[in-house]
Structure formats: structure tokens, C-alpha cells
Amino acid sequence: MTVLPIRIYGDPVLRQVAGETPLDDWVRRLAADMIETMYDAPGRGLAAPQVGEPLRLFVMDCHWKDGVAKAPQVFINPSFVERSDDQAVNEEGCLSIPGVPVDVSRPASVIMRWTNLEGAAQERSFEGFEAVCVQHETDHLDGTLNVDLASEADKIRLAPQLEVLAG
């Protein structure tokens, strides 16, 4: 497996809407490399656009940093079936926007459908931090970054840091 370079704020691939992802051996290798990259970063989620691939693919392991055994998940062509009306505000970091945490309001729970590496359709409900993570990573597939969802006051406050990252 290979640790891939993570694209940083200002890279145009982060603003592209990712295309449907076919399941083949290349995508399986990419997913394995993304998992390795996520752990090396160290992060809890990583979307394909963050490593320069405009594909609808992300990997996630929300709890490994809490001392829980590593249990990476791979999501291919994810979509939301349902999002709760209840909202929760959480501080989110992003590997593509290092050192710039931002408060984001998102649905508190979601139901997601996706394909796994074996080609099987999956559907599951996510709550708490896992709900935050799947929404954050899916946003990357749509060219949206967590800073786009910040309050206007936070956007103004973060602007100088983002300008430095964008170069």
C-alpha cells in the first residue's frame, strides 16, 4: 500500500463534483491506499478528491483514535436515503484544510446507502460523530468543504488562514 499526497485547500480537484465510481481492481487498490493515507495523516475519514481522484469514494474509521481497534469502512457511490430534521453543531477538522477547525451544523442522524468493496449494496443509519463524518466526506464528493458551511462570522475570521493555505 502507498501513502498518497493529500490535496490542500485551493486545489481545484477539491471543488469538482465527483463522478460515479466503477468497482474494479484499481478502485480496490485506491481504497487500500486511501486507508493507509488516512491512518498516516492521521485522520478519521478521507475522500477520493482529497487524493486527487474525482470519484465517489471515501474511507472512514471514526473511532481508531479513541483506542478502539482499527475498523476501516469503504463507501462507493454513497447517497443519503434520509436526513433527520434535528441538527447538531460540531467542530470539524479536515485533512485538506489543516489547522483550521470550524463549527458546522448538520443533521444529527442520517441513513446512507452505498456499495462496499465486494460489490454488495449497504444501507445503515449513522448518528453522532459517525453521522458527522459520513456527511463531511460526502460533501467532498460534491465539491463542498466544511468551511463553506461555516457561519458568516467564522468565514470572515478564517479568511486569512484559508488565503495562506490557498497560496
| Residues annotated as part of the active site | 137
Please, is 122 exposed, middle or buried when counting C-beta atoms within 10 Å of its C-beta (0-12, 13-18, 19+)? Answer: middle
In the chain the beta strands, taken as DSSP E runs, fall at: 45-47, 57-60, 73-83, 87-92, 102-107, 109-115, 121-127
106 in the Ramachandran plot: left (φ > 0), alpha (ψ -120 to 50) or beta? beta
Q: Which residues contact 117 (CB under 8 A, 6 or more apart)?
A: 23, 28, 31, 74, 76
CA distance 23 to 114: 12
CA distance 60 to 103: 20
